[in-house]
Structures are given as C-alpha cells and as structure tokens.
Structure 1
C-alpha cells in the first residue's frame, strides 16, 4: 500500500469510532484518498475508549447518556442491548425488562456496545474497499512530519508510515499519584483505589471535586463497604460490619452538587439549531471578534427567555428582558436557585422535579437550550478575544458544567442514601493546597468564601476535578513540539490586554508579529477542520488532532459523545472540501 493512501488513527474509542462512521458515510469519495486505515490502541481492547473499558472503570459506574441521546451508529444502544443474551445482560447488570431508549446504563455496557459498533464499521469499510488494520496493545509515543507523509513510532520500537494521521487519543491522565501517601492525581483506573477483596477503609476519604467522576469513586467504594437496599420508596445504605468509620468527603468550592438528569425535547445537539452559520458569523465586530456579550444578547437571550417561560421560571425570564442583565448575571441567578444551605437536602428537593421530568417526559427546556447554546459557541470559541475566554472560564463554565453533568437519577438516589447513613459529606470552600507525605496521608488546606481557612487531613485523597488542557510542553508526541509543528492555542485581546480579574493569567501572554498582545488559552492551536497549526502559523495538511485535552482551549465545551461525533464529522467535511457544519445544515433543510 502506498504511504499517501494510508490513514493512521491513534486511539480506538468513541472519537475514532465516529470518525470511521463518517468515513463510511462518504466511502465512495474517500476511498479515492486512502485505501487503508491503521488504527492504533494502547490497550488490548479496540473500540471501547478509556471511560468505558474494564481496564479503567467499574461495574458500579454509570454513564450519563441514554440511547436516544447517542449520535447515530449502525445500531442504537437499546437495539443492541435487546439483541443480547440473558447471560451477557446479566454480566452487565441489566435486566431485559429494563431496556429502553431513555435508560441509563453502566459505562461497561457502553464499552461493549461501542466495541460491537466498531467491529461492524470496520467490517463494512472493508467490504466497501478500505482495508482496516488494527494494532491493539500498540502505544504510539511519537510522530514526525516528513515530506509528504508522517512517521509513527511505537513504545515497542516499531515504525509506521501514513499519508495523514488523526490523533483521537481522548483523555490524558499523567501518572502523578503518590500511593504511599494515599494521594491519587486522578480516579483512573479506578481499580487502584479499591481495597483488597474483603478489605475496608475504616476512615474518611476525601475527593477534590463533587463531579460525576467523584461520584464514580464514591459509588465504587460504597459498594465495597456496604450495600444499597430498597426499603419502601427509599434507597437505604447499610454499611458492612467491618466498614468501621468509612466515610467520603467531597470538596466543592461553591458547595454545590451536580444538577440531575432531565428530559429533553430534542436529545441530540445541533450546532446551528438556533441560528445559521452565516447568521452567527455576521455577529463578528469590525475587528473580527465574536464577543461573548453579543452572542449572549443576539442568540442566547431570546432562546433562554422562551425556554424559561415554558418552565414557568418567569422571574428570570423577566430579568433577561433587561439588556443590562448579562451572561454572568444569568449564571449567578441560576446558580443561586441551585444553591442550598444543605446541598443534599437541595438535591432531595430537586429529585422530585427530575423524576417528574424523566418519568413523565416533561422537558426542562432551559437546561436543554443552555446545552445547545454552549455547544454552538464551542465550535466558534476561537473567534472570541482573550478577555471573553477568561470571563467564560472564570464565571460561566463552572455554572454550565454543573448543569450539563445531568447526574443520573440512580446516582442521585445513592448520594442521598449515603448522606442519610452518615457516610457522605460535602466540604465547602476552595482547596488552596494539597500536600501528600509518604506514610502520613494528605493535608488539605481550604478557604471558604468568607476567607476562613481550615486544614483537614485524609489517609486517602483523590483529585476528581477532571481533565486539564494538555499544551505543547506536555504533548504526548514530542517530535511535533520540538520541530515547531504545533504551537500553543493563543487568541488576541480586543483591548489593551489588561485583565485585572486574573493577573496570574498574564504569565501566559505574548505578542505576535504585528505587536498584538496574545493570551495562551490552553491546549494547542488548530484550524476549523482540526489541522494542527505550527509555529509558522500554517495548518499542517497531514496531522489532525481531535483529542479533547489537546484542543480544550479553542474548544472549551468539547465534552461527551455528541461532541466526539460532531468533531469527527467536521474532520471528514474538511477532507470532502466542505465548509464546517455544511452537512448538518443540509440535513436540517433537506
């Protein structure tokens, strides 16, 4: 096979799976560009992805997406589950009577589903004339960009060549654990946190964050220290006799728990649901910037007012009618509605609304619309100036991510059961310092909103705050960085570059050739169709990067499986010579 006719894909999880799906959709055109696809996966399982692999997750960890929300693959999740034998369903903890399009299932179930879809897609691509070569347990540790092709180097010393490469590696968790101190820099793989069979942790375990990842930890450990039992209409937690003082403490800066699962009118996101691409681009100012305030005024405000009125939140809808009530005001107003003196009792109160929404198909319109609007902004965030990126990250994203978490109802029930049993607490305040010491545990310093400082000590502490952007210095393919084939994601300031809100950010400022002050927003630079951009400012025609940690600066809301699919579609649109989003627009109007 000639090198230019070969496509290499690094990673075989959902991003790669959706890439294969969109290639299959246009296989008659694309097989003229490449006749072979090499898929590299560092684990032994191809077609699963880190969050869904038995190497990483646990049978007690739920996904937070239903079958009707999943982007299109050969079969829907619900249809695939219905086709499985009772033995397979039992191994996944699923009863055949529980299967539905709206159901939420374990991450392991999604992993098996994705693996099956991957196998179907690769078989169909083979039938259509594109050869697929799987390289499982083959970690690519470096890439060099040569004249007209790329060279890939594996951890085992093998060398591969391809005409182009798509980096679809997904999550990146550097190993910065200190197990002797009881400190873990991430929850993954979750097996590293579990006691030995029959063992217990008879002490309080802390988590940094009250996220879905934190609840994965809580759920896995709670099941090893007791059991959840349905008593009447309530779920109750009973600790094992040997559990002792086992307890979990979640640290949350604002003292908030995630919003709960909700029903949606249109479960699948669309980038241009509210305005067309042309209308959105017309909102740019004379300098070419899409200002966050303009986007909120022209696109978000009318859509949110309508949605809030449908949910009888007329007080906030009225306030949005005032042009002076901006995006930060909205985030603060809606956060205040979710802020309770006791977050667990607040969740219990919100559970009533969430159950009614899900079970009776009553959409919570404002949450769905908010997700839509952020999804649209995500794919155009590179048009915003530095000031707006800083504002979005500091004031808006914490609120949005808390809503978008959409914790499954089953998980909410377990949280309340653990709280009622005295086995779960929430610690409010910003964690200022985490200091692990071998053999002595982890010291955590906390400062609350009033400035009061306190020091806590944990025999075991897990950082669950989530994935951080991966920039040039940490980039997993060092030759691309050393040769200047990638550069940090930077955006110019609209004004003087003064950002009194966050002076620490000035450390990552620089100037371009025209003297404009630029701000590094995290991750690496990419163009609209995910070509990496080098120090020369030119997109690389052979190297594409769609890994969310690498592109988090320019794509700050690239979370979840729907983003995996849409990002893959944009990459393929670029190969077809189409404008990003043009296929979606055609599908909506066709």
Structure 2
C-alpha cells in the first residue's frame, strides 16, 4: 500500500470507532491513504466512549438504541451479545434471549464497542497500516506547525508530530461541581452521586431536565434507595428501603413535558437524503446563498409529513398541513399541545399503551420517524441557515424535538411511572435559574418561574441533566490553536441585518461581526466546513485539522442523531479526504 501520511486520532469512543470503520472501508480507494495511525485515549480503556464506560456510568444507565439501529461494525451488537458467556451477560445486565429490537445497559454497548475497536485495529494492521495506541494518554495541546504537519502535546509534555489530526474527544463536561452545596453541573461520572459505604439519600433531590440523562440519575438513585418488582398483574412497582421516607426526586422541565416513548419504525436507520435529494435541497437556496427554515419546512417537510400523517390515519393533521398558512411554528405548537397533559405522568401512562401496541405489533408512528429524518437532513446542511433561522431552530424547534420526538424505552417509562405511583418522583414545570444569592453552604437554591407556580427551592442535591451544551472557544482544550487563530467560533450571518437588533436581550451577548462587517450570531461550538475541517480565523479551512466531536460541532450540526450521526460524520470526513487529499 502506498502513502506516507500519518494521522493522529484524539479519542477512541464511537466517533473514532466509526472513523476507523469508514477509513478501513475506503482504504484501497484512497490515492494517499495514511500509512500510520496513532490513537490517543485519556482513559485507560480503549474503545468505549464516555457514555458507555464503567468509569462514568453504571448498570442502571440504559441506552436508547437497539442493535438494529446501530450502524454496522464488523459484528452486530446482537450477534456479539449472543457470543458472550452467561456470566458476562449477567455482569452486563443482559437477560437472554438477545433481541435485535431490545435496548440494553450502556455498559453492554461499551464492552461491545471495545471489542469492535480491537477488531478494526487488527484489520487495519492486516491492510498494511501501522496502528499505535496510547491508552491513558491525555492530549493537552495541539500546534499547527508553520512548515506543515501538526504537533500533539501530551499532559506529560511528550510531543507527537503527525501530518494531520482528527479530534474525536466526544462529550466534554466542564467541572463546575460544588459537592459541599450538593450542586452538580452534570450527572457524570454518575458514581459521584452515590454516597460512600452504601448509604442512602433520605431527602429531596432536584434535576434540571426530564431527559434521558435525568432518567439515568433517577434510576440510579431509586435503586440505591429501594427496589423494583412486578405485581401479579405484571405492573412494575417500587418499594422504598427503610430509612428513606423523605427520599424523592423532582424533575424540573421548562415545558412540563416528559419524553415521548419508544415507537416502531419503518426504517430504523436515518438517511440524509430520504425525502429530498442533494440537488433538490440546494435548489432551495435563495439568491443570498441561504436555505431558509420556513422554505425547508414548506418544500421538504410539508409533503413528507402529509404522507406520514396519511399513513398514521390522522386526517386532522392532513387538513392542517394542506393549508399553506399552516407554518413550522404552528406545527410545533400543535404537536407539543398533543403531548401536553394536566398530569404528565398520566399522559405517559396513556401513551404507554399506545407505544406498546406500536412496538409489539410493529406499527410505525410515521410522523415521528419522518420528522427525525427531516431534521437529520437539515442537520448536515445547517451551515446554509442564516442567523435568524439558527435562533429559531435552537429556541423553538430543538426543544420540541428533544421532548416530543426523542424516544424513551418502554422499560424506562415503566420505572418513572412506578416511582411516581410510589410518591417518589414528580415533575415541576417552569424555567430554572440558580439564585443570585446562595444563603446556605450545604444546599443549592433555585428559582422556578413561568410554570404553573413560581417557587424558590433549596436542594441538598441538585443535578444539571440538561445535556451537552456547545463548547465555547474559551473551553477548547487545545489553547495553542486558539492563540494562533487556527480555530474560530461558529457563526452565521443575518440575512436581514435589521434582525440583529431584534435578538432578545438574554442572547445579545452572542452577537458578533462577520468578516465582511455584517452582523452575525455565534451559534455555539467551533466553525467547521462541510467536511469537518476546522476553519481558521481568516475563514479558510485547514486540511490538517478535523473535528468530529459533537460538543465542538453542535452549533453547525444541531441535530446529530447519536451513533448514526457518528457513522455519517466519519463517512463525510473520509469522502472529504478522497476529494481534497
């Protein structure tokens, strides 16, 4: 095999895993394939990734993706599980027989990814690529060298010079915990929430958000303070342990919504161009070079959703969408209202029956599946949106998608209902802010407003489960690139400069100036080109530097569909190498 280039990969989780898979698939089609790959992983465990590692999660943290939804690796998840001995399955919380449509604990996925990582590394070596692995090696800095190439600096000060680098560091949680006050800026690693010496938590606990991350917290702490079992009718129930009479969890949700439940799908794998071709999509770009959100909804989403609601037998939605004046905002409000119940838990109980019928009888909920596909398409072209539409997307559409389209496994919904029925779990609507003054050193005070009732609450434990936020430039872990202007913040220009003056006060700190002097808006994360090359301060992409980490690219890739997006991103990156060298 010809080729002299050397490539560094920072991180070895799913993004890096799918990079290796796509590289292997196209290796012999590349004019100058990498001859040497060096993989740097700060953990001592190669291949798992933060959400699936025993260092950060536990047996009570469940994934929300099944084997049939996972992009293909050398062996499918279900087949790999079937090959494991009974003791390993028991350790990983997997109860046989293994089912392609079932969801399993994240630890099981992590062990699977670890095994697939080893297979891919071996196959790359068999194909003639030198692969060097550096577990327990944190990269503390990156320098783009003036004479070409890239230098990686480890935490111990060692240097590795390479031709190019792929940053695949995955989730990044700035540590702003205040354990004395019981405040945690993220749930991870989840072990930090568990008291030492098998103690219990006999007091009220608050979570910011009612998302899948919040469920991991709820499930972990519930098992710490009691146990689950099924009654004679097969209904899951919860029994609190002695000495936990005051234990309860309050999930704070701005809209007072619980996630929708898992549903059957016609096509479990998302596709970028399922409902529109690339040429058709680019034809929607206006004379200014923008793809407008409302035009995308009208020309792409509307006809697809009409087909979906017709399949789902929902004539009211067909009639509404057939009216030209029924716009994106109307659609979001209508479908959110359908999910808005006076009692969110009773609403979930009602939806549980519908979801179970969908899953057990393989009856797809087409509109949710189509909406997933449509937003997945938009995700990979979001750099075409002007600033106005980025603001709308993040403020109006994304909360809807996260609450209404996000799918919680049925087993997880059963856990929430059992805890609520036992008086141990409640949901509180309203926006949450930390109080400006914290009067107690051993608790965190929050202020709740805009819901059914305003409140000021002190929690001995309060956990931010709001999910991964886009990292700012100041958070970028490689300071030399920032100082040299080799990276810049992602931004979008306003199609109408006058719209900049209408940005709400709380978002005005994100206003900036584009390179042509026009008003722009910082959308979050780092600027990348369509092939995930980092964009320098001068607006030019650097073919030596690639970043495929979700927290660093989510400003311009706001609806990355988990592991499927990891695979798609890696495929696009390799395609870029084949086009641009």
TM-score scaled by length of structure 1: 0.95
Alignment match, 1:583: none
Counterpart mapping for 1:382-461 below 5 A:
382-434=383-435, 439-449=441-451, 453-461=454-462
- For the pair 1:216 / 2:213, whether they are aligned, the reply is no
Alignment match, 2:106: 107
Do the aligned partners of residues 480 and 4 (structure 1) sit closer, same or farther apart at CA in structure 2, a change above 3 Å counting? Answer: farther
Distance 1:431 1:528 in 2: 36
| C-alpha contact (below 8 Å) 2:252/2:428 kept by paired residues | yes
Alignment gaps of 5+ in structure 1: 580-590
The superposition leaves residues 497-530 of structure 1 with CA deviations (integer Å, 9 ceiling, x where unpaired) of: 4253523323222233433211111111100100
Alignment match, 2:506: 504
Distance 1:317 1:442 in 2: 48
Alignment match, 2:338: 337
Distance 1:364 1:567 in 2: 27
| Count of equivalent residues | 576
| C-alpha contact (below 8 Å) 2:3/2:31 kept by paired residues | no
Deviation at 1:115, TM superposition (A): 0.5
- For the pair 1:561 / 2:578, whether they are aligned, the reply is no
Alignment match, 1:143: 142
Distance 2:163 2:446 in 1: 49
| C-alpha contact (below 8 Å) 2:284/2:291 kept by paired residues | yes
Deviation at 1:195, TM superposition (A): 1.9
- For the pair 1:120 / 2:122, whether they are aligned, the reply is no
Alignment match, 1:171: 171
Correspondence for 1:514 among 510, 513, 516: 516
Alignment match, 1:586: none
Distance 1:283 1:347 in 2: 39
The superposition leaves residues 530-550 of structure 1 with CA deviations (integer Å, 9 ceiling, x where unpaired) of: 000011111001000011111
Distance 2:330 2:117 in 1: 44
Alignment match, 1:587: none
Deviation at 1:576, TM superposition (A): 1.0
Alignment gaps of 5+ in structure 2: none
Counterpart mapping for 1:281-292 below 5 A:
281-292=282-293
The superposition leaves residues 392-448 of structure 1 with CA deviations (integer Å, 9 ceiling, x where unpaired) of: 111111001113420010000000000000000111111132565664301110102
Distance 2:87 2:261 in 1: 31
The residue matched to 2:180 in structure 1 has which SS?
coil
| C-alpha contact (below 8 Å) 1:181/1:437 kept by paired residues | no
Do the aligned partners of residues 95 and 453 (structure 1) sit closer, same or farther apart at CA in structure 2, a change above 3 Å counting? Answer: closer
Distance 1:497 1:43 in 2: 48
Distance 2:172 2:3 in 1: 29
The superposition leaves residues 344-368 of structure 1 with CA deviations (integer Å, 9 ceiling, x where unpaired) of: 0000000001111111111111110
Distance 2:58 2:498 in 1: 46
The residue matched to 2:261 in structure 1 has which SS?
coil
| C-alpha contact (below 8 Å) 1:429/1:449 kept by paired residues | yes
Alignment match, 1:377: 378
| C-alpha contact (below 8 Å) 2:237/2:418 kept by paired residues | yes
Alignment match, 1:64: 64
| C-alpha contact (below 8 Å) 1:4/1:148 kept by paired residues | no
Distance 2:506 2:3 in 1: 46
| C-alpha contact (below 8 Å) 1:319/1:325 kept by paired residues | yes
- For the pair 1:7 / 2:15, whether they are aligned, the reply is no
Alignment match, 2:525: 523
Counterpart mapping for 1:342-357 below 5 A:
342-357=343-358
Counterpart mapping for 1:263-278 below 5 A:
263-278=264-279
The residue matched to 2:123 in structure 1 has which SS?
helix
| C-alpha contact (below 8 Å) 2:491/2:522 kept by paired residues | yes
Cα RMSD for the two superposed structures? 1.6
| C-alpha contact (below 8 Å) 1:4/1:149 kept by paired residues | no
- For the pair 1:248 / 2:249, whether they are aligned, the reply is yes
Distance 1:128 1:204 in 2: 56
Alignment match, 1:130: 129
Alignment match, 1:204: 204
Deviation at 1:305, TM superposition (A): 1.1
Distance 1:37 1:30 in 2: 15
Alignment match, 2:259: 258
Do the aligned partners of residues 10 and 404 (structure 1) sit closer, same or farther apart at CA in structure 2, a change above 3 Å counting? Answer: farther
| C-alpha contact (below 8 Å) 2:175/2:185 kept by paired residues | yes
Alignment match, 1:484: 485
TM-score scaled by length of structure 2: 0.97
Alignment match, 1:229: 229
Alignment match, 2:191: 191
Counterpart mapping for 1:520-559 below 5 A:
520-559=522-561
| C-alpha contact (below 8 Å) 2:336/2:404 kept by paired residues | no
Do the aligned partners of residues 101 and 436 (structure 1) sit closer, same or farther apart at CA in structure 2, a change above 3 Å counting? Answer: farther
| C-alpha contact (below 8 Å) 1:307/1:369 kept by paired residues | yes
Counterpart mapping for 1:79-90 below 5 A:
79-90=79-90
The superposition leaves residues 144-198 of structure 1 with CA deviations (integer Å, 9 ceiling, x where unpaired) of: 0002100001112111111000000110001100001110000000000012243
Alignment match, 2:315: 314
The residue matched to 2:68 in structure 1 has which SS?
coil
Distance 1:225 1:488 in 2: 44
Deviation at 1:31, TM superposition (A): 8.0
Distance 2:227 2:498 in 1: 55
| C-alpha contact (below 8 Å) 1:379/1:555 kept by paired residues | yes
